[in-house]
A and B are shown apart, each in its own frame.
Chain A
Amino acid sequence: MTPRQLVCAALGLAVLCRPEPAAAQKLQLSIAPSVITFPSSDPDAVPVIAAAPVTITYRVQQNNTGTWSLTVLAAGDLIAGPATVDISNVTWVATPAPPFQNGTLNKTIAQRVAAGVGNANPTAIGSLTFRLVNSWTYSTGIYTQTVLFTLSAP
């Protein structure tokens, strides 16, 4: 085999061994309602305040055997002017489990809400009920904070 033939053979091998380009995963995610409200309540009567359930609609396509995960990250503590309530006082109860799981909000590390393998196709739904630990120590005010849900399939 001449040197030129050798090079051509190597190129041919390279082309044959190259994997088929993986199609990018297609992900869809929506949250409803987008405003999660904890009604003001007497801490003695309602030690934990439950918000109305949130429906999470998601779809994972072209993921084959890959994993996917849904996480949530709070942008900070609950804030009402100068008053704050630590975001760790907010937890959630999720269904169905699996792929969903219960958890506690965190402002520094995204927390897993759900995880799975392969596709979630057609569209699937889950339900999250957020709960706020109620306390007499909270100052009056209207507390708000943003939470970011991320559906990913690395």
Chain B
Amino acid sequence: MRLSVCLVLLVALGLAVGSTPAAGQTASATLNGPVIGLARLTLSSAAVTFPDADPDSMPNVAASQGPITVTAKARTMVNGRVTLTVLATGPLRSGLNTIPASNVTWTASGAGFSGGTLNASAAQTVGAWNGSGARTGTQMFFFKNLWTYATGTYSLTMTFTLTAA
């Protein structure tokens, strides 16, 4: 009989500590974020100047600005191709006198950037890589100095184009 009493007390204890089931209510939402193609190109200088120099002592004249910093930012598809090119609008001109654009060359630094020779008919690659992101490189321009040039102040315009596939 003593055993029966203990059993009853245990049952009562079980009832006393019983917990209420947890309650929960949910609601869902959808995040939506379109990312469209975009490109931005920045040059640290809008002008490149070659000082006059003696062709014998300085056959290749470096731009007085020093290296130009090129910052190329682009958004493209996964592993999409990004290219940066430069095209001269024509030869260097001083009145009726001209110097071929190909007498201007550049060296480059920075991942994806490459050196080259200016061209007035076909855009030349300055940089190329895959995927979105921001890249920074430098371009150091040089001018081939010759005795054959007529005197004058020569100029041309270069057009840089950043393209993201």
Contacts and interface: CB of A to CB of B under 8 A. Distances in A.
Nearest to B36: A40
B15 A14 contact: yes
Interface stretch (B18-26, B44-52, B105-113): B18-26
A30 B29 CA distance: 10
A30 B32 CA distance: 19
A42 B38 contact: yes
A109 B123 CA distance: 52
A11 B23 CA distance: 31
B81 to A, nearest CB: 13
Q: Which of B5, B26, B29, B31 has the most CB of A within 10 A?
A: B31
Contacts of B29: 31, 33-36, 54, 146-147, 149
A124 interface: no
Contact of B33 (A15, A29, A44, A78): A78
Interface in A65-121: 74, 78, 80-83, 85, 90
B35 interface: yes
A144 B28 CA distance: 13
B15 A18 contact: yes
Interface stretch (B88-96, B130-138, B147-155): B130-138
A24 B23 contact: yes
Interface residues of B, number: 40
B74 to A, nearest CB: 7
Chain A interface size band reads 35 or more
A127 interface: no
Interface in A1-55: 3, 6-7, 10-11, 13-15, 17-19, 22, 24-31, 33-40, 42-44, 49, 54
Contacts of A144: 30-33
A30 B31 CA distance: 16
B122 interface: no
A25 B23 contact: yes
Interface in B94-136: 131-134
A27 B23 contact: yes
Interface of B: 1, 4-5, 8-9, 11-12, 15-16, 20-38, 40, 73-78, 80, 131-134
